[in-house]
Amino acid sequence: MIFTLKIWRQKNASDKGGLVTYKAEDISPDSSFFEMLDQLNQQLIAKGEDPVAFDHDCREGICGTCSLYINGRPHGPLKGTTTCQLHMRSFRNGETIYVEPWRCGAFPVIKDLIVDRSAFDTIIQAGGYVSVNSGGIPDANTIPVPKLDADTAFDAAACIGCGACVASCPNASAMLFVGAKVSHLALLPQGRVEAEHRVQKMVATMDSLGFGNCSNTYACEAECPKEIAVTNIARMNREFLAAKIFAEKEKQISFTL
Amino acid sequence: MINLNAGAPKAPLAEQWSSYKANCRLVNPNNKRKLDIIVVGTGLAGASAAATLGQLGYNVKSFCYQDTPRRAHSIAAQGGINAAKNYQNDGDNVFRLFYDTIKGGDYRARESNVYRLASISPEIIDLCVAQGVPFAREYGGLLANRSFGGTQVSRTFYARGQTGQQLLIGAYSALSRQIAAGSVKLYNRRDVLDIVIIDGKARGVIARNLVTGEIERHSAHAVVLASGGYGNVFYLSTNAMGSNVTPAWSAYKKGAVFANPCFTQIHPTCIPVHGEFQSKLTLMSESLRNDGRIWVPKEKEDVELLRQKKITPEQIHESKRDYYLERRYPAFGNLVPRDVASRAAKERCDEGYGVGSSGRAVFLDFSDSINRLGAEAISARYGNLFQMYERIVDDNPYQTPMMIYPAVHYTMGGLWVDYELMTTVPGLYSIGECNFSDHGANRLGASALMQGLADGYFVLPYTISAYLSNEIHTPPIQTTLPEFHTAVHGVADRLNQLKETKGKTSVDHFHKSLGKIMWEYCGMSRNEAGLQKALGLIGDLKTEFTSDVSIPGGMKEYNPELEKAWRVQDFIELGDLMVRDALERKESCGGHFREESQTPDGEALRNDEEFAHVAAWEFKGNGAAPERHREELRFDTVKPSQRSYK
Ligand SMILES: Cc1cc2nc3c(=O)[nH]c(=O)nc-3n(C[C@H](O)[C@H](O)[C@H](O)COP(=O)(O)OP(=O)(O)OC[C@H]3O[C@@H](n4cnc5c(N)ncnc54)[C@H](O)[C@@H]3O)c2cc1C
Ligand code: SF4
Ligand code: FES
């Protein structure tokens, strides 16, 4: 197969960057999108040119390292699929393909197609955990968890932290990512204990990092490669409201004490 | 002098670990704050260790090459994690898990370490559940289990087909909590390229900042390597693209001995290779063997018709199918250990019964299970794997059998460590897949996750205190010391050399060539002549690399080609050591199959008289032959026997 590629090239964070046109020839329909880029890079190296830098690691859709807008869509055309799982058979022979990095203020470009997503780490550090130490833990079967709750928690926990939700959102909101983590932990008895504090801290941190608000366009759900549901955002909103009331109560209690 | 004394406590096997903990020297909380520890790696082993050490009050510096710790290669583990909980009441206990692991490893692992691992396993599950890991559950709300290869009990805990992801997110969340608390400082997008040794002790690392290209010095009172396995020496493997041997290799060159480098696990159920352009292989979890049956046609005519796409596999009548694992190993059937299953697949394909366009594939068929349990039940168990398969191969495994073939997956070899997980360099520890400790010559499924977490959450935090209790008077290590200067210069020189070679051939090209040599001569089966040949080929490749590698881009910027070049250079040297190790081990055991040493029916034949030992290699300088040392293995509890899964 043959493709015309319009790829975003940007030397570093301060460079302006722009689209550069390349030809990819002799591409097998069975090769993955990244194998196609590998092939292009081999050609560039042979010519002594700088290869296109892109983020990738597992190449099987689980680590969340890969990104890319492909023809304007985060992770390309297929539903529930990361860029690394795309195969060239999903494109038309001769097609022109636009390849760009995530674009949003909270994820600045490092080079070419690579962006800095450490804002997500900062949000998790604000409370995306259960405060337990490795010692003195009761037997795992002490607290039964209804299967449905465990499964729903799993569905939320399947988030790979790729950032496509932010990239797809007209407001660059991180609500789906945060909602997924809040839900995952709030649905389990182990995470329930700190749920009120968690949601407040995570939401406050998210707001402080320059992510936008949610205006219910649901682009995030449509583009999320793990099909994380927007119901997680609703759950987070409920949690957040409950937490506010809880915080008020806590204040009153400490006041009476 | 290399001392390969493991130093297990003198106590009956079952009491060694409690005796160790009872007598272990501790560091008091005030002193912990003054001690720095570097942990290289944020996979299950590294993240769990860094989080626990931070929680205990040490000052931890945590390194990974990815943009965030949560992306470490452990994330890709699918099938599950073992633990001797006996929730199923099917006869499991600590001893049985210990026994299965020793036997599964073909009697090439150390009893004391393995027993400890088995005894810690239940605690891991407790901790992970407390962290919020959403393991699979039964309708009654209790935890579910599945069975895995090489065992006859159900002791594997799982989270759909994403167990590694869920466990790593648990460890990452614990790590994040410590980062927030200020006890752990994270250094992401760093490539650790060298270990700094001062007065014989590990005192720091040299890292390249992958974004800026800056070469950095980091010091500590002790250094822990949790940098994963080296399967990518084969180029094509199920490992992540960035997985590498570099931290372990630099430790080797600084005096840590490297144990059993040739012990590689070739996993039986992976998606077959389909083209020259291929960059990696994808695993289909071993858990699939619970419900899938493996077969090839009995008759070559059918093989031919299949290859010409004149018939589909479903059209081959039951009586004309060879369920070769069930035929050869009636007791374990499709659940034989990985090495056995992989070799059996190779044997059928070598004999000309392989399917697929290349003839190097066998069927993994779910039709029986789907008929028995329904497609929905199968989807609940393996839905994401089926989907993954379909994306890659463009075939629907609910309708037609999967095609699979063995692929490089895991490396049992690694840095030699003693009972305390310390390498032969004082203050330098190695945990997780990076060390060699628990799996002998073959790892059982679902045991790597268990080992990584046991090492990080429960073993190292104790054993490192024994060492650090002698360091409480050592002030913070200064990075201005001459040893740091020398190390930085060494790294800068080598990077310059790579960059200045200005050859014509890309790094990937060399990596692929190395992979082909390793797969051909040091892969699923090995022989004297082939290994000798490989030594020569690797030598040539090494020379060619130094004179002809081409690396575009600059030093002081993000430069993935430069990153890869360093790694591939290390892999080439490692390849040489693996081949030497395979040559010297003139027996078959576990994943190491020497054609010269097999039983009449083609099973691996061990030679306990001569080889019941760990081979530990010492670096003797560039260009000099490495020296082979031995740690004799004693089996006081389990008597070695010919492994039989019949
Ligand atoms: C596809 C697949 C499926 C698997 N499924 C299972 C399973 O079901 N059950 C099971 O028990 N095991 C399984 N395994 C094996 C298991 O996943 C691994 O052995 C285990 O996760 C290794 O963990 P680790 O912490 O030792 O290393 P890794 O998770 O590999 O982490 C290595 C860390 O080191 C860092 N690092 C590496 N090099 C450098 C460097 N130069 N500089 C700085 N940092 C560096 C990386 O950034 C990373 O953080 C599977 C393996 C694969 C490949
Ligand atoms: S919610 Fe979906 S799109 Fe957003 S980070 Fe998680 S996996 Fe990616
Ligand atoms: S590279 Fe890991 S998810 Fe795409």
Domain ranges of chain A: 3-111, 118-246
pLDDT digits (tens, 9 = 90+) for B226-264: 999 999 999 999 999 999 999 999 999 999 999 999 999
Please, what's the b/e burial string for B217-226 (b: 16 or more CB within 10 A of its CB; e: otherwise)? bbbbbbbbbb
- Cα dihedral value A142, A147, A149, A154, nearest 10: 100
Helix (H) or strand (E) holding B168: helix B163-181
Report pLDDT for B380.
Answer: 84
Q: Which among A34, A140, A188 has CB closest to B126?
A: A140
Q: Which among B71, B173, B282 has CB closest to A124?
A: B173
CB contact (8 A) between residue A124 and residue B136:
no
Q: What is the distance in A from the centroid of ligand 1 to the CA of A90?
A: 31
pLDDT per residue of chain A (257 residues) written in tens, 0 to 9: 999 999 999 999 999 999 999 999 999 999 999 999 999 999 999 999 999 999 999 999 999 999 999 999 999 999 999 999 999 999 999 999 999 999 999 999 999 999 999 999 999 999 999 999 998 999 999 999 999 999 999 999 999 999 999 999 999 999 999 999 999 999 999 999 999 999 999 999 999 999 999 999 999 999 999 999 999 999 999 999 999 887 887 777 665 55
Task: Determine the Cα–Cα distance for residues A77 and B255; give it in Å rounded to an integer.
Answer: 51
Residue owning tokens 């010095």? B217
* DSSP string of B522-562, one letter each residue: SSSSB-HHHHHHHHHHHHHHHHHHHHHB---S-SSS--HHH
End-to-end CA distance of chain B: 44
Residue owning tokens 């006869």? B91
Q: CA B582: distance to chain centroid?
A: 18
Structure tokens at B185: 């400082």
Q: Which residues pair with B615 in a beta bridge?
A: B630
- In the three-class reduction of DSSP (H, G, I as helix; E, B as strand; rest coil), residue B574 is classed as helix
Check pocket membership of B579 for ligand 1, CB cut-off 6 A: no
Above pLDDT 90, what percent of chain B? 91
Q: Does B76 contact A at CB distance below 8 Å?
A: yes
Check pocket membership of A19 for ligand 3, CB cut-off 6 A: no
User: Chain-wide mean pLDDT for chain B?
Assistant: 96
Helix (H) or strand (E) holding B29: helix B29-32
User: Which numbered atom of ligand 3 lies nearest the CA of A62?
Assistant: 3
Q: Which among A48, A118, A132 has CB closest to B131?
A: A132
Task: Determine the Cα–Cα distance for residues A84 and A33; give it in Å rounded to an integer.
Answer: 6
CB contact (8 A) between residue B552 and residue A48:
yes
- In the three-class reduction of DSSP (H, G, I as helix; E, B as strand; rest coil), residue A39 is classed as helix
Helix (H) or strand (E) holding B381: helix B375-393
Task: Determine the Cα–Cα distance for residues B463 and B457; give it in Å rounded to an integer.
Answer: 11
Q: Does B165 contact A at CB distance below 8 Å?
A: yes
Sign of CA dihedral B246, B248, B253, B258: negative
Residues of A in contact with B135 (CB under 8 A): 140, 150
Report pLDDT for A47.
Answer: 93
DSSP at B34: T
CB contact (8 A) between residue A130 and residue B132:
yes
**Residue range B37-66: mean pLDDT, rounded:** 98
Residue B65: pLDDT band (50, 70, 90) is: very high
Which of A1, A25, A32, A45 has the most B C-beta neighbours within 10 Å, making it the best mutation to test the interface with B?
Answer: A45
Determine the distance in angstroms separating the CA of B336 from the nearest CA of chain A, rounded to an integer.
26
Q: How far is residue A27 from each of residues A77, B241, B272, measured CA to CA in Å?
A: 18, 21, 19
pTM for the full predicted model:
0.97
Is residue B157 within 8 Å of residue B143, measured between CB atoms? yes
Task: Determine the Cα–Cα distance for residues A100 and A6; give it in Å rounded to an integer.
Answer: 8
Structure tokens at B155: 């002791």
CB contact (8 A) between residue A60 and residue B70:
no
pLDDT digits (tens, 9 = 90+) for B417-435: 999 999 999 999 999 999 9
- In the three-class reduction of DSSP (H, G, I as helix; E, B as strand; rest coil), residue B205 is classed as strand
Check pocket membership of A181 for ligand 2, CB cut-off 6 A: no
CB contact (8 A) between residue A63 and residue B66:
yes
Q: Where are the extended beta strands (E) located within B382-535?
A: 402-411, 414-415, 428-430
Residues of A in contact with B552 (CB under 8 A): 44-45, 48-51
Report the chain A residue with the minimal C-alpha distance to residue B184. Answer: A125
Tell which CATH classification among 3.30.360.10, 3.30.230.70, 3.10.20.30, 3.20.10.10 matches the domain A3-111: 3.10.20.30
Q: How far is residue B87 from each of residues A3, B92, B146, measured CA to CA in Å?
A: 55, 9, 11
Is residue A202 within 8 Å of residue A179, measured between CB atoms? no
Q: Where are the extended beta strands (E) located within chain A?
A: 3-9, 18-24, 69-70, 73-74, 96-100, 109-111, 114-115
Q: Is the ipTM of this complex over 0.90?
A: yes
Structure tokens at B49: 């260790």
Sign of CA dihedral B248, B249, B251, B252: positive
Determine the distance in angstroms separating the CA of A228 from the nearest CA of chain B, rounded to an integer.
14
Determine the distance in angstroms separating the CA of B276 from the nearest CA of chain A, rounded to an integer.
10
Domains by residue range for chain B, with CATH: 268-408 (3.90.700.10), 487-632 (1.20.58.100)
Sign of CA dihedral B245, B247, B253, B259: negative
Q: How do beta strands A69-70 and A96-100 pair?
A: antiparallel
User: Which numbered atom of ligand 2 lies nearest the CA of A168?
Assistant: 3
Structure tokens at B90: 């099917």
Q: Which residues pair with A136 in a beta bridge?
A: none
Which of B28, B23, B86, B88 is CA-nearest to residue B56?
B28
What is the phi-psi region of residue B8: left when phi exceeds 0, alpha when psi lies from -120 to 50, beta otherwise? Answer: beta
CB contact (8 A) between residue A125 and residue B179:
yes
Which of B391, B458, B549 has the most A C-beta neighbours within 10 Å, making it the best mutation to test the interface with A?
Answer: B391
Check pocket membership of A86 for ligand 3, CB cut-off 6 A: no
Q: What is the distance in A from the centroid of ligand 3 to the CA of A29?
A: 20
Helix (H) or strand (E) holding B387: helix B375-393
Task: Determine the Cα–Cα distance for residues B89 and B164; give it in Å rounded to an integer.
Answer: 25
CB contact (8 A) between residue A147 and residue B125:
no
User: Which numbered atom of ligand 1 lies nearest the CA of B71?
Assistant: 49
Residue B120: pLDDT band (50, 70, 90) is: very high
Determine the distance in angstroms separating the CA of B175 from the nearest CA of chain A, rounded to an integer.
9
Q: What is the distance in A from the centroid of ligand 2 to the CA of A215?
A: 17
Residue B601: pLDDT band (50, 70, 90) is: confident
Residue B145 has pLDDT above 70, yes or no: yes
Residue B151: pLDDT band (50, 70, 90) is: confident
Task: Determine the Cα–Cα distance for residues A179 and B142; give it in Å rounded to an integer.
Answer: 26
Q: Whose CA is nearest to atom 30 of ligand 1?
A: B228
Q: Which among A28, A118, A144 has CB closest to B275?
A: A28
Residue range A118-246 forms a domain whose CATH class is mainly alpha
Q: Does B7 contact A at CB distance below 8 Å?
A: no
Q: How far is residue B632 from each of residues B6, B492, B610, B614, measured CA to CA in Å?
A: 10, 40, 10, 6
Check pocket membership of B239 for ligand 1, CB cut-off 6 A: yes
Residue type, B162: Q
Task: Determine the Cα–Cα distance for residues B495 and B401; give it in Å rounded to an integer.
Answer: 48
Report pLDDT for B274.
Answer: 83
Catalytically active residues of B are 338
Phi and psi angles of residue A59, each rounded to the nearest 5 degrees, phi first = 55, 30
Which of A37, A57, A122, A227 has the most B C-beta neighbours within 10 Å, making it the best mutation to test the interface with B?
Answer: A57
Task: Determine the Cα–Cα distance for residues B599 and B607; give it in Å rounded to an integer.
Answer: 11
**Residue range B367-375: mean pLDDT, rounded:** 95
Residue owning tokens 């030093």? B555
Report pLDDT for B93.
Answer: 97
Report pLDDT for A256.
Answer: 57
Q: What is the distance in A from the centroid of ligand 1 to the CA of B188?
A: 16
CB contact (8 A) between residue B186 and residue A121:
yes
User: Which numbered atom of ligand 3 lies nearest the CA of A225?
Assistant: 3
